[in-house]
Every structure is written in structure tokens, then in C-alpha cells.
Amino acid sequence: MPELFSLDNKEFSKKDNEWQWTYSWLITFYFNTKKITKITITDHYQQEHPKITNELILNIFQTKLNGARREPRKKHGKRNIFVEERISYDGKKYRLIFWFKDGTTNHLWIRNCHPQD
């Protein structure tokens, strides 16, 4: 299977008190008709769900959200927040919380992912 993404940066944000990994897509990836070139995943989800990996999150995005059109579920300040409930992947269901990185239309920021029943 060809590589789908590459790690560009891994850093600890003192401001947010979390690890952040930024990946570039090596395939064409669209969300809400916008070509997405970067995805940043924070370690927020690992505090309660250590079995979930960044690769799992990226694979869910690639297989379930590539080409998807979704409406934001809520707002946080000026930011539109997307909440994907009960996404099936590899026989399990997940909840994802993400948004466009502030000031961009090509960079998604993933804050949380956790399993659901």
C-alpha cells in the first residue's frame, strides 16, 4: 500500500500544553470541496484513549471523509467545529472533533477522537 501521508513536524506546544503532529497528504484529499494539504493532530485524545493512534485517525479521514461535504455542528468563537459521530472503521465506531486551522482552508486540526459503542 502506498504511503498516504508524511510527518512534517512534531512539537510540544507550551501554549496549549500538548504534543502536536503535522502531516502532509501524499494523495489528493478533499473535504467540503477544499483540497486539504495538511492535518495537525493533537495528543488531547491520548489522555483518555491511549489505544487510538495518529495513523488510525489519518486512515479514518482518508477512507471515510475524503471527498465528504459536512456542515459544522457548532461554533467556538469564530471557528466552525465539525463533529463526526459514529464513523465506522475496521469494525468499530469513532467520534471525531476537528476544524480548519485558523485562517486556512487547506489545513485541518484534529482535536479529539474516541471510540463509541
Q: State which residues of the chain have pLDDT below 70.
A: 1-2
Q: Looking at residue 1, what is its pLDDT?
A: 45
Distance (Å, rounded) from C-alpha 92 to C-alpha 39? 22
Domain positions in the chain:
5-116
Q: Looking at residue 15, what is its pLDDT?
A: 92
| Grid coordinates of 81 | 467545529
Side by side, which strands form the sheet with 92-100? 5-13, 18-25, 38-42, 107-116, 92-100, 79-89, 74-76
Contact 36, 16 (CB under 8 A): no
Angle 70-26-22 (CA atoms, 0-180°, nearest 5)? 70
Distance (Å, rounded) from C-alpha 15 to C-alpha 33? 32
Element (H, E) at 88: strand 79-89
Q: Looking at residue 105, what is its pLDDT?
A: 95
Q: Looking at residue 109, what is its pLDDT?
A: 96
pTM for this model (two decimals): 0.90
